[in-house]
Amino acid sequence: MSEPGPKRTRDQRERDLATVAKLYCEGWLQVDIGVKLGVSQSQISYDLRIIRGRWQRSAIRDFDAHRAEELAKIDNLEVEYWKSWESVGSTDRIAPQYLAGVMTCIDRRCKLLGIDAPLKVAPTDVSGENPYLGLNDDDLRRALLDAANRAAAGGSQVSVETEGQA
């Protein structure tokens, strides 16, 4: 085990973290990064844990900020729809379009905030048009065996034992 090197100053450590992140993203090995910076591979491993934590926290903050920005846009758009609806009066023939815009804003906001109940998705066949009926175990085994045999395409046939066969 190698002796620990001299302590890095806070500024040097931050510079090293930036360098470690850059070299890591370029595909450098930890040991090679350590040699370049004059520190051990285990120090680089520790630095990478710090870097990954910062990246993760940053991504969460960025996501929250982006969501807040989108919510603000939706809020502004909804206000404009309400103003337009009020300016034309509820009896005008285009008034329903403004209310539809308000509903779209509300719907989009609910989706963005995760307020809506989860959508239930029914499985379908490959075409997406017919309900998926599923296969029982025996039919599934046969289908898998058929697929494996087709994949062999003239090679040796695949043999799969099913329950009850020896």
Q: Note whether 57 and 49 are within 8 A (CB).
A: no
Task: Decide if 157 is inside a domain.
Answer: no
Residue 165 is predicted with a pLDDT of 46
Mean pLDDT of 31-54: 93
Task: Decide if 139 is inside a domain.
Answer: no
Task: Decide if 2 is inside a domain.
Answer: no
Task: Decide if 67 is inside a domain.
Answer: yes
pLDDT tens-digit map of 66-117: 888 899 999 999 999 999 999 988 778 888 999 999 999 999 999 988 888 7
Regarding pTM above 0.75, the answer is: no
Which pLDDT band holds residue 164 (cuts at 50, 70, 90)?
very low
Residue 6 is predicted with a pLDDT of 67
Q: Report the DSSP beta bridge partners of residue 131.
A: 124
Residue 18: give the domain boundaries: 10-113
Percentage, residues of the chain above pLDDT 70: 88
Task: Decide if 143 is inside a domain.
Answer: no
Q: Specify the DSSP element, H or E, that contains 61.
A: helix 41-88
Task: Decide if 73 is inside a domain.
Answer: yes
Count of structural domains, the chain: 1
Asked if residue 158 has pLDDT above 50, the reply is no
Task: Decide if 25 is inside a domain.
Answer: yes
DSSP 114: T
Q: Note whether 63 and 71 are within 8 A (CB).
A: no
